[in-house]
């Protein structure tokens, strides 16, 4: 009996490691969520085991003491993007290999996180390595409880030459993504807030976790963007088709706003506590301007026409060691509220196989 009890306690202790995967908020959509959802899982401190007895076993599920100091994370991921036509026939598949290094530090009991990230990517049948945008991110938690968290964040993505960017990362044909590509030569600064509610329950089967979150953000640029007749703004929907030709370029001064809502359920089985399974659904509304000529004037004004997409994520992750994890994430993108199929140049499926290391 003592031996059996010891095995149960050991399994419960191992199951606490599974909390790492579900301790994450729903993907904080700092930029280009449809392309970059959940790309930066933040490293979490290792759980400490307690002494023997039933009480110590339950303590292993308690939140760890706040950790501070420097951290590092490196991940290698293989990404596959699939596109379909209106007849549900796949017309192209775009794979790529990515590497990303993130270094940072957590302060004030993990309520402030400062980090920098660099990375690159490589396409099949090519020796060329594309550079990802370097970025600096500041995450601040004015409220960080076990159930409720509120995150304020700022993110700056620095420019690189347009020709140095992985074309598979910015190939989506919706208005938001095409609009985002207009700022490749500028530093993109995003600011947002993301509240998050998380509930969990431990049973004889394992750990269940339910998460509900939201994210709202806007972005600014280090240089002005302009609207011209010859720059494709009309085909992107930034200028109404009913309006006359743009005779003289003017500055695109309208802010972009996005908000996203997410629900997720996760499970870590008792029989294999280092395995984490998760299903999540996301709805995202983007507010992009559409310019029109003001009545009896040469000035251009704008109104917002919201664009909605939705996507689901199916994830399986395995903690191979306390510092190495392997995961697979499948995304299914839809237009509207899980309604319209994305066709032609709009990505429908995205699969990510990831190997992550905590440094």
Report pLDDT digits (tens) over 340-357: 999 999 999 999 999 999
Q: Give the start-to-end residue ranges of the domains of the chain.
A: 2-57+66-358
> Using one digit for the tens of pLDDT, what is the confidence trace for 94-133?
999 999 999 999 999 899 999 999 999 999 988 999 988 9
Instruction: Please state the rounded mean pLDDT for residues 198-209.
Output: 95
The answer to whether the Cα torsion of 8, 10, 16, 17 is positive or negative is negative
* C-alpha dist (Å) from residue 60 to 57, 199, 269: 5, 17, 16
CATH number 2.40.160.40 given to 2-57+66-358: yes
48 closest CA partner among 34, 64, 72: 64
> Using one digit for the tens of pLDDT, what is the confidence trace for 34-72?
334 434 434 333 333 334 443 433 333 344 444 569 999
Amino acid 42: pLDDT: 40
Q: Is the pLDDT of residue 271 over 90?
A: yes
Give me the chain's average pLDDT, please: 83
Spell out the long-range contacts of 103-106 with Cβ–Cβ below 8 A and sequence spacing 24 or more: 103/70, 103/71, 103/72, 103/359, 104/70, 104/71, 104/72, 104/137, 105/68, 105/69, 105/70, 105/71, 106/67, 106/68, 106/69, 106/71
Percentage of the residues of the chain whose pLDDT score is greater than 70: 81
Residue 275 phi/psi, 5-degree rounding, is: -95, 130
> Using one digit for the tens of pLDDT, what is the confidence trace for 2-38?
444 444 444 444 444 333 333 333 333 344 433 344 3
The winner for highest mean pLDDT among 5-9, 84-88, 182-186, 193-197 is 193-197
Helices (H), the chain: 2-15, 19-22, 33-36, 54-59, 175-181
User: Which pair of tokens denotes residue 295?
Assistant: 């009545």
35 closest CA partner among 235, 131, 170: 170
Amino acid 39: pLDDT: 43
pTM attached to this predicted model = 0.81
Kindly report the three-state secondary structure assignment for every residue of 113-137. Answer: EEEEEEEEEECCCCCCEEECCCEEE
135 closest CA partner among 151, 152, 159, 113: 159
> Using one digit for the tens of pLDDT, what is the confidence trace for 130-186?
988 999 999 999 999 999 999 999 999 998 887 777 888 777 888 888 888 888 788
Amino acid 44: pLDDT: 37
């Amino acid at each position: 009996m003592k031996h059996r009890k010891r095995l149960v306690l050991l399994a419960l202790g191992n199951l606490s490691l599974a909390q790492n995967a579900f301790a994450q908020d729903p993907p904080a959509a700092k930029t280009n969520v449809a392309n970059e959802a959940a790309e930066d899982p933040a490293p979490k401190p290792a759980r400490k085991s307690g002494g023997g007895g039933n009480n110590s076993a339950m303590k292993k599920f308690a939140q760890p003491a706040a950790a501070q100091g420097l951290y590092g994370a490196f991940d290698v991921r293989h990404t596959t993007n699939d596109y379909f036509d209106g007849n549900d026939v796949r017309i192209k598949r775009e794979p790529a290999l990515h590497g990303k290094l993130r270094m940072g530090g957590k302060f004030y009991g993990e309520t402030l996180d400062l980090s920098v990230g660099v990375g690159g990517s490589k396409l099949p049948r090519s020796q060329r390595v594309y550079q990802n945008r370097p970025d600096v991110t500041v995450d601040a938690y004015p409220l960080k409880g076990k159930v409720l968290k509120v995150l304020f964040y700022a993110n700056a993505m620095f420019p690189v030459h347009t020709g140095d960017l992985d074309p598979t990362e910015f190939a989506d044909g919706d208005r938001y993504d095409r609009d985002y590509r207009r700022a490749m030569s500028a530093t993109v600064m995003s600011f947002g807030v993301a509240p998050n509610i998380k509930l969990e329950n431990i049973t004889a089967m394992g750990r269940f976790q339910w998460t509900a979150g939201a994210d709202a953000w806007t972005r600014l640029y280090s240089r002005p963007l302009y609207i011209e007749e010859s720059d494709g703004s009309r085909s992107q929907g930034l200028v109404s088709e009913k309006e006359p030709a743009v005779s003289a370029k003017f500055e695109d001064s309208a802010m972009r706003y996005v908000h996203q809502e997410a629900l997720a359920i996760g499970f870590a089985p008792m029989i294999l506590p280092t395995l984490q399974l998760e299903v999540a659904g996301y709805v995202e509304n983007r507010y992009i301007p559409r310019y029109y000529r003001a009545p009896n004037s040469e000035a251009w004004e704008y109104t917002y026409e919201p664009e909605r997409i939705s996507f689901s994520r199916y994830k399986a992750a395995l903690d191979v060691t306390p510092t190495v994890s392997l995961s697979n994430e499948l995304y299914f993108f839809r237009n509207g509220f899980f309604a319209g199929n994305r066709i032609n140049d709009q990505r429908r499926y995205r699969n990510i196989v990831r190997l992550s290391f905590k440094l």
